[in-house]
Amino acid sequence: MIQKQPLDAWKIKTLGDHALQFSLPALMDSTIAAQIKDLNHFMVSQQLPFIKDLIPAYHTLTLIYDIEILERPLSFAQTILKEFLEVTNDHKIHTSNANNSNAGEDKNIIRIPVCYDISLGIDLELLSIEKNSSPQEIIQIHTNQIYQVYCIGFLPGFAYMGKVDSSIQSPRHATPRPLVMAGSVGIAGEQTGIYPMNSPGGWKIIGRTPRPIFNKEVAPYASFKMGDQVQFYSISIEEFTKQNEYENEHT
């Protein structure tokens, strides 16, 4: 169970004239992320009519509000943060179960097939030279780790996951590619992620999943949400071709 940070660990800032940002220390850290997720959960459960959007990311929760309804944003923010920190132990237990933050409890891990064939993982050879490791070793390290989803953004459904093992971390390309194919799995520093749709992009691409991760038509639309745990597993190019659900969508 996660101990809540005390009130003075939190900072509240206004973001322009229509947003508020709650923040904890700027670290990519699973206990900080879990508390951002808890605060998000708490805010959602309040069903406040002036909240237009709640956007959790790493160490911040940003609230977009309706200026016409919420009058004193900062004093609202202070009050709701206090209420959040004061909620009973019952609530703590309840949310930390939903967090799957307990180590060793792996039943909620989302498993994603990835084909690491060099025809799809177009930067795998480059990375292998850069790291002086075989592609097999890189695949082994990439699939071994259980990643946490720290936030969703950049593209609809794009999940920023971490942390990538330091032995295979690699910076973005200096110049982004004009086109990265949907399903591509990439690395950028200590983060890994999947491109939900064809898009320009600078991440080092090491494989591709046959499984769509964003569906415009069906709720919840995105396969991942903040706090999810994800593990990749390697599949052959034959399995990829058989399972590939993206090809049908090409026009």
Partner 1 sequence: MNILKKGVADSLQDAGRYGFQSIGIPPCGYMDYLSAQLANLILGNPIQQTVFELHFPASSISFDEDVCICITGANFVPVVNEKSIEHYTPIFIKAKEQLKFIQPIHGKICYIAIKGKLNAPAWLNSQSYFSERIQTGDTFSIEKNNAPLPFINGEWLDTINKHIFHPSPIRFIPGPAWNDLEETSIQALLKNSFSTSIKSNRMGYKIQGDPLSLKGAPNYLSSAVTKGTMQLLPNGEIIVLMADHQTIGGYANIGQIILVDLPKLAQMKNDIQFHWAVVSVELAQQSYLEIQNEFHQYDKNH
Which residues contribute to the site for partner 1 (CB under 8 A)? 13-19, 21, 23, 26-28, 40, 52-60, 62, 64, 67-68, 73, 151-158, 160, 216, 220-222, 225-226
Q: Which two tokens stand for residue 194?
A: 């999947």
182/194 Cα distance (integer angstroms): 8
Residue 27 tokens read as 């670290």
Residue closer to partner 1 (CB basis): 62 or 231: 62
Smallest distance, partner 1 to C-beta of residue 192, A: 14
Q: Which is nearer to partner 1, 21 or 133 (CB)?
A: 21
Q: What share of the chain is helix, strand, coil (3-state, %, to 5)?
A: 30, 30, 40
The C-alpha atoms of residue 37 and residue 63 are separated, in whole angstroms, by 13
Contact 185, 209 (CB under 8 A): yes
Closest approach, Cβ 152 to partner 1, in A, equals 5
CB of 163 to partner 1, least distance (A): 13
- Please enumerate in sequence order all residues whose Cβ is within 8 A of that of 179, keeping only pairs 6 or more positions apart, or say none: 198, 199, 200
Query: Which is closer to partner 1, CB of 23 or CB of 170?
Result: 23
Residues 28, 150 contacting (CB under 8 angstroms): yes
Minimum CB distance to partner 1 smaller for 154 or for 246: 154
* Least gap, CB of 9 to partner 1 (angstroms): 16
In the complex, the smallest distance separating the C-beta of residue 109 from partner 1, rounded to whole angstroms, is 20
**Residue nearer to partner 1 on the CB measure, 13 or 242:** 13
